[in-house]
Amino acid sequence: MRNIYLITAALASMILASCANEEIVGNEAGTGTTTNGVISFGGLAPAMTRADLYGGDAATKLGNKFVVYGTKHKTAEDNTVDNDEVVFNNFQVAYTASTAGTTASNTSDWDYVGLPAYDAAITSQGIKYWDYSAAQGHTFYAFSSPDISYPKATTDLVQVEKTTADATSLYNKGYAVTVKPGATLSNLYFSDRVPVTKANYDKTVDFTFRNIGAKVRVGFYETIPGYSVKIDKFYIDEDADPDAATPTAPVTNFANMKDAKTDGFYASLQNVKKSVNQTLNVTYYDNSDPTIENRPKMSNPTAGYDYYLKLGNGTGIIDKTLETSSADPTWVAGTAADNYYIPVFPFEGNANPLLLKLDFTMTADDGSDDVIHVRGARAVVPAKYVQWKSNFAYTYIFKISDKTNGTTGEIDENGDPTDPEGLKPITFDAIVVDITDELQETITSVTTRSITTYAEGAIVDEYNVNKPIYTVISTKTTGGVITPTALGTAATEAQVYSLDKAASETEVFAQLTGSPMGITMTAVTGASIATKVPFADGTDRDIDNVKFTPSAAGYYAYVYTTTAYVAPTYELQTSGTYDSSKTYYMKSGSGAYFAVTVRDEAAFNANKSSLYLQTAAGTPGVYDIKVIKVQ
């Protein structure tokens, strides 16, 4: 019997896709309906399907109401209060279907006259007109939330105050927002800042609203041949519990993650805390990037933090049989109606990786009672992949493969493996010799790291012909990104291969280390080492990666080399003499050498035409491997 020890490039090769921005393409100011000198409003809101919502659909998304703040400028707008003459002091604007044109202030079914304002100081909202003496324009802002009242009350779950001056930039004249536990974050919208020039007076002011929160979903699938997989538990560091008497810093070490959780999905990740009041700032992107200028953004300067991410209530993902495809993974929480997304606070400034540590159980599919428990499996998502932006949805998919870095043996008090890591496929080879049947066990050690692949602008099952793929390899514990020194096969280098047939990471590893698997591996031309990954949120993240664009459908393998494999060499002993201190080998029909026991000189002489001595031990290959299917 030949027992081969194989360990994966990662517990889970993590596929990350940032869902497209839920943005609205609204009318530019000045292209709407003529208003006969009265200031009037229209509102648009987004859907998760990326379709724009107009009219009643948009109104429903906004709860049929929003709050508008507007100023006029007789001189060029600056960063002070003095130049902002207030026209709309947090007026309520409400939607009523089929009312457009029934009043002078209503051109798009939205009206404000006679309604109670958000600020109690306004007793009755009056009609407003364009002031042509304001030669430097008007500026409008708006927000909407189901958790506010008119006028506002101290009991409201969302408290909003307009920022009227900022010494730094006029783009910082946004809002100070307090969000209390229980607020409906997914329905908290802020509009783009809308400057209107004098030439565009007498037109409807159209607002594009964007959700100020972010959304996250996490899924799992498995590709272990012959077994189904269920997750048993996740690990976190209870000492980092923000509800503890002495909260600690973010967790950056797997050794501290030794507290098991079975009531949902858990991972170590610093994120904004939902269970306390949060004071947030809403400001706007400036003109350094015209493509996003005036869009709202959120920061949390004095936020409280959780030090682990939890998704789901009850068992959630625990004890569910995992799906076997990234196109239809097993989601950890949420509902199909919400596309399994969970609202979270944005955290663009996150500087800590996501650490995932779990145990899972494998059950044989062949009807036998074979059950294997794998403990202490781990994966790292680099920090820059978990920097959540307002109005974006993020998908994280983890793959559990036969190259897991957990152990089927013992773990220490921290939950880390003490026995060899990885699944060791049991394989067989036989040769008949005159002495006896011999068995050989060989062990090849492979270090494990997490490999993240990303396809621009996609969500799941995302790899397609002629679209770039970005592959990132991370350190085993901290999530730091490893940059290959070059494209190639030497140590510290990376290579992308096209495969002539479907293959697992285990088979690719065997092919690379001298065990023929019948796979033809061809280096992909045009691959390069890059320093940026373009996200669907419109930003380029500084992440070292290997970028390649597949020219044909099929299977591709990313290989990072820690130690290049050098095959051992052997010499046939046809003319040698017996030496009891040496290890003798025979060669199988597949070309593999295996050790045999030669008991005495007579046995040696009888079989020396088939016996070999090793003349050079060679070097075991240490590789991190990710197989990618391109459609």
Dihedral sign from CA coordinates of 522, 528, 533, 535: negative
Q: Give dist(CA 55, CA 605) in Å, integer.
A: 93
Q: Give dist(CA 511, CA 447) in Å, integer.
A: 17
Place of tokens 């998502």: 381
Contacts of 224 (CB under 8 A, 6+ apart): 362, 400, 401, 402, 423
Nearest residue to 195 via CA among 29, 27, 76, 26: 29
Place of tokens 């995992």: 322
How many other CB atoms are found less than 10 A from the CB of residue 110?
28
- 3-class secondary structure for 373-429? EEEEEEEEECHHHHCCCCCCEEEEEEEECCCCCCECCCECCCCCECCCCCCCCEECC
Instruction: Check residue 49 and give its pLDDT.
Output: 32
Nearest residue to 435 via CA among 613, 612, 610, 614: 610
Q: Give dist(CA 169, CA 381) in Å, integer.
A: 35
* Between residues 414 and 92, the one the model is more confident about: 92
E strands, 424-527, are 426-427, 440-443, 450-455, 469-474, 481-482, 494-499, 521-523
Nearest residue to 620 via CA among 5, 2, 3, 36: 5
Q: Is 257 found in the same domain as 176?
A: no
Predicted confidence band of residue 335 (pLDDT cuts 50, 70, 90) = confident
Domain encompassing residue 106: 41-203
Ramachandran angles phi, psi of 323, nearest 5°: -70, 170
Q: Is residue 532 part of a domain?
A: no
Q: Is 158 found in the same domain as 236?
A: no
Tell me the average pLDDT across 107-125. Answer: 89
> 175 with 229: CB under 8 angstroms?
no
> 563 with 491: CB under 8 angstroms?
yes
Q: Is 455 found in the same domain as 323?
A: yes
Place of tokens 């098991």: 260
Q: Is residue 297 part of a domain?
A: no
Q: Is 416 found in the same domain as 326?
A: yes
Give the pTM: 0.69
The residue type of 468 is P
How many other CB atoms are found less than 10 A from the CB of residue 504?
21
Q: Is 170 found in the same domain as 79?
A: yes
Q: Is 225 found in the same domain as 119?
A: no
Q: Give dist(CA 302, CA 280) in Å, integer.
A: 8
Q: Is residue 614 part of a domain?
A: yes
3-state class of 57 per DSSP?
helix
Q: Which residues pair with 241 in a beta bridge?
A: none
Q: Answer with the one of 203, 223, 252 that is the final residue of a domain.
A: 203
Q: Is 117 found in the same domain as 13?
A: no
Tell me the average pLDDT across 49-57. Answer: 59
Q: Give dist(CA 23, CA 297) in Å, integer.
A: 13
> 184 with 145: CB under 8 angstroms?
yes
Q: Give dist(CA 231, CA 441) in Å, integer.
A: 30
Q: Give dist(CA 7, CA 503) in Å, integer.
A: 16
Range list of H helices, 412-548: 505-512
- 3-class secondary structure for 326-363? CCCCEECCCCHHHCCCEEECCCCCCCCCEEEEEEEEEE
Find the range with the poorest average confidence among 73-82, 84-93, 591-600: 73-82
Question: Would the pLDDT of 461 be above 70?
Answer: no
Place of tokens 């088979």: 507
Q: Is 243 found in the same domain as 187?
A: no
Per-residue model confidence as pLDDT tens digits over 391-445: 888 888 888 887 777 788 777 776 677 777 666 555 433 333 333 332 222 222 2
Place of tokens 């000045």: 30
| Token representation of residue 59 | 């109104």
CA atoms within 13 A on the CB side of 110: 30
Q: Answer with the one of 203, 223, 258 that is the final residue of a domain.
A: 203
Find the range with the poorest average confidence among 16-30, 88-102, 274-288: 16-30
Q: Is 234 found in the same domain as 107?
A: no
Q: Answer with the one of 148, 179, 203 that is the final residue of a domain.
A: 203
Mean pLDDT for the chain overall: 81
Please report, for residues 137, 219, 479, 494, the alpha-carbon distance to residue 534 in angstroms, rounded to integers and kept in the order given: 36, 22, 19, 21
Q: Is residue 246 part of a domain?
A: yes
Question: Would the pLDDT of 214 be above 90?
Answer: no
Q: Is 125 found in the same domain as 251?
A: no
Predicted confidence band of residue 120 (pLDDT cuts 50, 70, 90) = confident
How many other CB atoms are found less than 10 A from the CB of residue 591?
9
Contacts of 42 (CB under 8 A, 6+ apart): 27, 32, 107, 108, 110, 204, 205, 206, 207
Instruction: Check residue 241 and give its pLDDT.
Output: 59
Q: Is residue 630 part of a domain?
A: no
Q: Is 181 found in the same domain as 48?
A: yes
- Please state the domain count of the chain: 3
Longest Cα–Cα distance of the chain, Å, equals 114
Q: Is residue 514 part of a domain?
A: no
Question: Would the pLDDT of 527 be above 90?
Answer: yes
The length of the chain in residues reads: 631
Per-residue model confidence as pLDDT tens digits over 359-393: 999 999 988 889 999 888 888 888 888 888 888 88
How many other CB atoms are found less than 10 A from the CB of residue 96?
13
| Token representation of residue 82 | 């003095």
Question: Would the pLDDT of 446 be above 50?
Answer: no
Please, is 259 exposed, middle or buried when counting C-beta atoms within 10 Å of its C-beta (0-12, 13-18, 19+)?
middle
| Token representation of residue 160 | 């909003």
How many other CB atoms are found less than 10 A from the CB of residue 457?
15
Predicted confidence band of residue 449 (pLDDT cuts 50, 70, 90) = confident
Q: Give dist(CA 22, CA 345) in Å, integer.
A: 16
Q: Which residues pair with 323 in a beta bridge?
A: 221
Instruction: Check residue 31 and give its pLDDT.
Output: 36
DSSP type of residue 7 = -
Tell me the average pLDDT across 454-464. Answer: 65
Instruction: Check residue 457 and give its pLDDT.
Output: 57
Which of 152-156, 433-437, 606-610 is the most confident on average? Answer: 152-156
**Percent of the chain residues past pLDDT 90, beyond the cut:** 36
Q: Is residue 311 part of a domain?
A: yes
Q: Is 260 found in the same domain as 380?
A: yes
